[in-house]
């Protein structure tokens, strides 16, 4: 966890997993229904972490091309807001799928410039 200022945090979770190009192609072909399901899963994950009144905007696929490290086979960006510990916060989250692992990066109370810096400068 990285705390960029009081009340803000960036959390990166790494988990084993696997993604092959055929799966990426299938997700991209069916992205509307897949992304809708992922938005519901993200909302549920935030609520289980203690957030309330969670709103998740429709997620989007994006081209992950970091300045360091390797690029993800598939990258999905989420943005939303909700209440946590009595205060309203905006959050963003990214899921990066690689051939051998998955990273979920979530930030709350962090400006977009700082969050993009983490994505671009990290070695995944």
Residue 88 CB partners (closer than 8 Å, separation 6+): 81, 82
Render pLDDT for 42-62 as a digit per residue (tens, 0 to 9): 999 999 989 999 999 999 999
pLDDT digits (tens, 9 = 90+) for 87-116: 899 998 999 998 889 988 888 888 777 777
pTM to 2 decimal places: 0.81
Give dist(CA 86, CA 64) in Å, integer: 34
DSSP β-bridge partners for residue 9: 108
Give the HSE-up count for residue 32: Cα atoms under 13 Å, Cβ half-sphere. 0
Partners of 96 in the β-ladder: 75, 103
Predicted confidence at residue 39, as pLDDT, reads 92
Q: CA dihedral in degrees (111, 4, 59, 123; nearest 10)?
A: 120
Taking the C-alpha atoms of residue 64 and residue 55, their distance in angstroms, rounded to an integer, is 24
Q: Report the candidate in 76, 11, 84 with the shortest Cα–Cα distance to residue 49.
A: 84
Region 67-96: what's the mean pLDDT? Answer: 89
């Amino acid at each position: 966890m990285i705390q960029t200022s009081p009340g803000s945090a960036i959390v990166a979770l790494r988990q084993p997993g696997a993604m092959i190009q055929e799966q990426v192609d299938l997700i991209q072909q069916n992205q509307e229904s897949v992304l809708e399901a992922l938005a519901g899963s993200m909302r549920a994950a935030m609520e289980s972490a203690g957030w309330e009144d969670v709103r998740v905007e429709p997620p989007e696929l994006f081209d992950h091309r970091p300045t360091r490290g390797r690029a993800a086979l598939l990258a999905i960006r989420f943005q939303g807001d909700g209440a946590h510990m009595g205060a309203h916060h905006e959050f963003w989250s990214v899921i990066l799928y690689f051939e051998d692992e998955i990273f979920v990066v979530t930030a709350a109370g962090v400006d977009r410039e700082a969050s993009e810096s983490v994505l671009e400068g990290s070695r995944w």
